[in-house]
Amino acid sequence: MSHDLFEAARAAMRLAYAPYSKFPVGAAIRAEDGRIYAGANIENISFPQGWCAEPTAISHMIMGGAKKIVEMAVIAEKLPLCPPCGGCRQKIAEFATAETPIYLCDETGVKKTVTMADLLPHSFETDVIG
C-alpha cells in the first residue's frame, strides 16, 4: 500500500522549486478519503520564507476536502530516509494520530516506517479533527 505513496512523493520531489538549497523534497499523503495528495518544497529568495513538502501536501489535502492523514511518505533527493523537520512534524500531527505511519524513503522506495509518535512524542494534541 505504501508503494503508491512513494511513487507520488518521488514524482512531487521532481517538481520541487529548490534553487537556493538545492535540496528537493517530496511528500505524499493518503487521506481518509483514500486519495493521495502530494507536495514538494517551494523556496523563496527571502529565505526561509519558502515552505516544505509536507505542508504543501497537507494544503492539497485540505483543499481537496479531506481532513485526516492515514499515512504519509517523505523523500529527499540528497538525504535518504530524511524525516520531516521539527515544524513539519507538528503540522503533520495536527491531522494525524500518534499511530499514523510515516514512510521514510530513498530513491528505490520505502526503507523505514516510523509512527507520528516516534517523530514527535510530545506533540501538542488537538481534538478538533476527530
Q: Which of 43, 54, 71, 77 is catalytic?
A: 54
Task: Assign domain 2-119 to a CATH class.
Answer: alpha beta
Phi and psi, residue 17, nearest 5°: -110, 95
Q: What is the pLDDT of residue 46?
A: 84
pTM of the full predicted structure?
0.92
User: What is the CB-side half-sphere exposure of residue 111 using CA atoms within 13 A?
Assistant: 13
Catalytic residue at 54?
yes
User: What is the CB-side half-sphere exposure of residue 7 using CA atoms within 13 A?
Assistant: 5
Give the cell for residue 14. 521532481
pLDDT in tens, the chain (130 residues): 689 999 999 999 999 999 999 999 999 999 999 999 999 999 999 877 889 999 999 999 999 999 999 999 999 999 999 999 999 999 999 999 999 999 999 999 999 999 999 999 877 776 665 5
Q: What residues are paired with 17 via a beta bridge?
A: 42
Cα three-residue angle 12-61-93, rounded to 5 degrees: 95
The rounded Cα 94 to chain-centroid distance in angstroms is 13
